[in-house]
Amino acid sequence: MTPTFLSGLNDQQLEAVTLPHQSALILAGAGSGKTRVLTTRMAWLIQTGQASPIGVLAVTFTNKAAKEMLTRLTAMLPINTRGMWVGTFHGLCNRMLRAHYREAGLPQLFQILDTQDQLALVKRLMKSMNLDEERYPPRQAQWFIAAQKEEGKRADKVEPYDDFSRRMVDFYAEYDRQCQREGVVDFAELLLRSYELLSRNDALREHYASRFRHILVDEFQDTNRLQYRWLQQLAGPESAIFAVGDDDQSIYGWRGASTANMQDLQRDFHIDRVIKLEQNYRSHGNILEAANTLIAHNRKRLGKELWTEDSKGEPLRVFEAASDFEEAGYVVEEVRSLRAAGERLADIAVLYRSNAQSRVIEHALFTAGMPYRVYGGLRFFERQEIKHALAYLRLVANQEDDGALLRVINFPTRGIGARSLEQLQGMAREGGMSLWAAACANTLSGKAAASIAAFVKLIETMRSATAGLPLPEAISHVVEHSGLAVHYRNEKEGADRLENLDELVNAAALYVEERATQIPAEGAPPEEMDELTAFLAHAALEAGEHQAEAGADALQLMTVHSAKGLEFHAVFITGLEEGLFPHENSMTEADGIEEERRLMYVALTRARRRLYLLLAQSRMLHGQTRYNVPSRFFRELPENLLQRVNHVRQAPVFAAQRGAGYGGSGAGYGAAAAAAGTRGASTAPAVQSREFPWRIGQAVTHAKFGAGVIVNAEGGGADARVQVNFRNSGLKWLALAYAKLEAA
């Protein structure tokens, strides 16, 4: 009798679920029901007697996914899942080490260090070894250790290549010894220690290999090399690995994920045929066709074509804004229209490549009074680096602000510990004064006294240096001279935080502009208030409780990385410009553009019914107005699937990319930018003429410098010249009499 849980499976799903005992790679496209296939495979193995519940090992990447698998399994079979080995790599390794702590060389009650606990240990150890934190940043040491462990290397196996790496190798060895003395392990250690346990203990490895004859792996494309080697240790001669993944959705190369594991799995486990789940149950046909066409430009892929029995649906809407502010305004207006048509806000998502992009969008939503929620992250003014910068600014504006002082007096670290702070607070209480006054009086002794005095001098110097500066320049100065910029430059993943700090400068520039041109709203700061104090009040208001409560109907904001695994009725993909999406960092990395294209594929396939592609001709980046080249991804999408929805002018991107000038037959970009109030727009000629054949904003190419966009122009006749922002070479002035420019 056929189990009822097999009903409703399509042919490919059924084939995958009912495979005989053999290793298999299931290439599961977006929205193709991979979780259903995994859990149904587990149920089928147990129902048919091929495996007992405790004889199945299932690995996934999140606890949420593991719980969902168990919930679905119990809905199909009346079994007790308590003893089953279903969980994340780290969770299962922890379970194994708890059971075999003696063999693993660990105390029975070993503790696990989270990221912050590990960093604290690194700092403590560095201090005991007299290592200069300026020269050897603790976070960099932390990442070095994690990277070596994820490669399966202990310190004695790491080959140093210079003095810095030699010192890091020595520190890694001492770190390992300290962890062993304290009986603690970090996250990377869980996997490495478990792998080492299996690789050197034949009896234990054979025990688990004979127990787990069926090993199922979710999101296989996200496994790193050590995780794959761990799976190899667990898989004995009679074991079968059932791996489900999608190489087209491999977007975590920056944290070690390797799509090469898919090719290695086929070779190492003699998999002759890959089963492809290509029927999509999520998106309309036009969305899938666009995604298929885009991802086909990647050369390193196993290949598949998503299809649906659903209708083709609507075309993909493309809106090219004059600026990022117009882009955000369009999102607000279109979301209002969708809401009026009966769409729930919770079923609409706004995606962006960089966290810093959310600030302009959040501002537009806040102004419009539209509820929103930032998924998988914090709202702009709640982010750690922004709160640190604002605290420094609050101190510059008002030294009596105790809360601001406590936040930054030892961030970045400057040797002022908890004991010194307690003494400082005691002095303030006893003297009935602010912490700043106590710091200025500074009756402490030794290193702490010197550090506090240096901090006081830092704030006073910044206050003096920023007096009279325009607000954006003042904020930029504080970010740089406070040490925040240097601190985040030394962080492995500090690029996003630096972008957010740049966006804070942009926010200040926008605030100054709006304050100068708009009628003050009720409750706005009085005009006589200085700009910095007024801006801090504005930031506090925007950081207030405006995000929707949990469970409330709210627009969803998130990065594309955070959107993986989610789906929405309508999706807005913003910032589709070269250097932003694809990100500029990808252009110098191996496989960088292909991973960015996979990220775009993930973004496209989040949409069920309606998809918007947005770009801005100009965008505030790093405190300056930048003129942008449209993303190459537009050229890789079928033109017949795209509908231009610009209301005022024809979208220039299509004309620019298909032979005409940037601006097509519509109005020149300079005129459009001026009409939209774009800051920094040039007064140079904006309309093409015989005497001046170029327009500001026009996409051009140069034999030496490559592709770029004209951002400024001056002079006339033989003296005419243009300034071009080249994609790879930056800003350059070119004399038209000599420069050989061509329209892109």
Q: Which residue has the tokens 């009903």?
A: 7
Burial of 211-236, coded b for 16+ CB within 10 Å and e otherwise, reads bbbbbbbbbbbbbbbbbbbbbbbbbb
Catalytic status, residue 67 = no
Bond before 78 cis per omega within 30 degrees = no
Catalytic status, residue 157 = no
What pairing do the DSSP bridges indicate for beta strands 24-28 and 275-277? parallel
Catalytic status, residue 35 = yes
Length of the chain equals 744
Token code pair at residue 590: 């191996």
Q: Is 295 helix (H, G, I), strand (E, B) or coil?
A: helix
Give the CA dihedral 571, 572, 577, 578, nearest 10 degrees. Answer: -20
- Options 34, 149, 282, 608, the catalytic residue: 34
Sign of CA dihedral 59, 64, 70, 73: negative
Catalytic status, residue 732 = no
- Options 189, 218, 324, 362, the catalytic residue: 218
- Options 15, 18, 35, 644, the catalytic residue: 35
- Options 219, 289, 334, 577, the catalytic residue: 219
Distance in angstroms (rounded) separating the CA atoms of residues 357 and 628: 15
241 within 8 A of 56, measured Cβ to Cβ? no
| Residue 101, C-beta contacts closer than 8 angstroms, at least 6 positions apart | 107, 108, 110
Q: Is 86 helix (H, G, I), strand (E, B) or coil?
A: strand
Helix extents (H) in 151-305? 163-182, 187-200, 202-211, 225-234, 260-268, 285-295
Token code pair at residue 351: 């995606």
Distance in angstroms (rounded) separating the CA atoms of residues 257 and 240: 22
288 within 8 A of 281, measured Cβ to Cβ? no
Catalytic status, residue 34 = yes
632 within 8 A of 597, measured Cβ to Cβ? no
Catalytic status, residue 249 = yes
- Options 13, 233, 249, 723, the catalytic residue: 249
Q: How far apart are the first and last CA of the chain?
A: 65
Q: Which residues are catalytic?
A: 34-35, 218-219, 249, 606
